[in-house]
Structure 1
Amino acid sequence: MSRRVCFALDLVDDADLIADYERAHAPGAVWPEVTRGIRDKGFTDMEIWRVADRLVMIAEVADDWPRHLDAAGKAVDARWEAAMDHFQRPLSCAGEEEKWVPMRRIYSLGEQAS
């Protein structure tokens, strides 16, 4: 069983930085240890979508998400986050330690009358 979660984050509004960020996320470009860590945290599928400087992450997560990483996984995660920091700018509603801000669903076609 899984459920969907969505998050938002902004990028620095610079075309060259945005292009570099996309290259860093191209197939095969993300460090294998990062991909493994994402799965270890309980993500079963994940996509990141972009329009202008806004990112939206749509993920399917396991029932026991979020899982905690071991020390080695945390170290890799911290290195990846540090490498991505100069591309990203938190939303104004983000907490002090928060980059990706959880989104709240406000509409579902399936819940609408026919």
Structure 2
Amino acid sequence: MARRHCFALDLVDDATLIADYEARHAPDSVWPVVLDHLRAQGVETMEIWRTGDRMMMIAEVADDYPRAVDAPTEIDDWEQLMWRYQRALPHAAPGEKWVPMQRIFAFGETR
């Protein structure tokens, strides 16, 4: 059964950079090696949502996520490219990009 993880990250507040970032995430624009690496780690589906310069990523992952897999060198290249557009949240650890979010409410579920 897949589990859901949500993460947050900010973009540099620049309309041109935000448009370029979105273009790099348009259908068939993300590098195939990046998508293959996500699948290898156990990511089954992923969505990124944006409002202003704030983003939220929702990932449905396998029970054994994250799987220990070697990252191709292109992954570092992709991450360096993405840092051009992204900026860490104020409370992120040094070098941390996507910060895990904590669910605080679930309509229709009892805990």
- The residue number in structure 1 matching 2:81 is 83
Is 2:108 aligned against 1:102?
Answer: no
* 5+ residue gaps, structure 2: none
The runs of 5 or more residues in structure 1 that have no matched partner are none
Q: Partner of 1:24 in structure 2?
A: 24
The code of the aligned residue for 1:103 comes to M
- Taking only aligned residues, the RMSD between alpha carbons, in angstroms, comes to 1.0
Distance in 1, matches of 2:72 and 2:92, equals: 21
Residue equivalent to 1:57: 57
TM-score normalized by the length of structure 1: 0.92
For 1:13 and 1:69, locate their aligned partners in 2 and report how far apart those are by CA, in whole Å: 33
* Runs (4+) off by over 2 Å: none
Alpha-carbon displacement from aligned partner over 1:60-102 (angstroms, at most 9, x marks no partner): 00011011222xx342211110111110000011111210000
Give the aligned residue type for 2:36. Answer: R
Aligned residue for 1:43?
43
C-alpha distance in 2 between matches for 1:86 and 1:37: 21
C-alpha separation in 1, matches of 2:42 and 2:74: 16
Q: Please, what TM-score do these two structures have when normalized by structure 2?
A: 0.95
Partners of 1:49 and 1:82 lie apart in 2 by 21
Matched residue, 1:15: 15
Whole-angstrom distance in 1 between the partners of 2:67 and 2:74: 15
